[in-house]
Amino acid sequence: MHLKLLLPTEVLIDQPVSKVIAEAESGSFCLLPRHIDFLTALAPGILLFESESGEETVVAVDEGILVKCGAEVLVSTRNAVQGNDLEHLRQQVVKQFREVDEQERLTRSALAQLEASLARRFMDLQTRS
């Protein structure tokens, strides 16, 4: 099989694999090369895959979509963090969530300032009329 993990801004993984384990809303599942074609919505969680040499890799994924069509497995998600072991992955996820939280806080602050400025300008227009 060939796994591609797609993020909005990049292709995180693009490699041959022998097994993919992921988690859907209804529970976890395993895909092997001869399984039938498959489509599911992924729940936030761990995606594990095994390379053709037997090396396991774990990826924390946000909700997304997984499609298996023939030998191709496509995963599309907004956020994903790749690691070699769960502890390293946990640290990376915590770090990324902190960065995202800070970016969201700054964005909310800028939006609030923009809304306040717009409200002041409308008030100025009403007093001039």
The Cα 108–Cα 67 span in angstroms is 35
pLDDT at 11: 96
CATH superfamily, region 2-83: F0F1 ATP synthase delta/epsilon subunit, N-terminal (2.60.15.10)
pLDDT at 83: 75
Among 8-17, 19-28, 63-72, 98-107, the least confident range = 98-107
Name the residue with higher pLDDT: 126 or 21: 21
Compute the average pLDDT of residues 54-60. 90
Mean pLDDT value across the chain: 88
Neighbours of 68 (CB within 10 A): 21
Compute the average pLDDT of residues 70-81. 93
Give the start-to-end residue ranges of the domains of the chain: 2-83
0.85 exceeded by pTM: no
Q: What is the three-class DSSP state of 74?
A: strand
pLDDT at 129: 64
- List, in order, residues 6 or more apart from 46 with CB less than 8 Å away: 23, 58, 59, 60, 61, 86, 89
Among 44-48, 70-74, 102-106, the least confident range = 102-106
Compute the average pLDDT of residues 12-39. 94
**Is residue 94 pLDDT above 90, yes or no?**
no
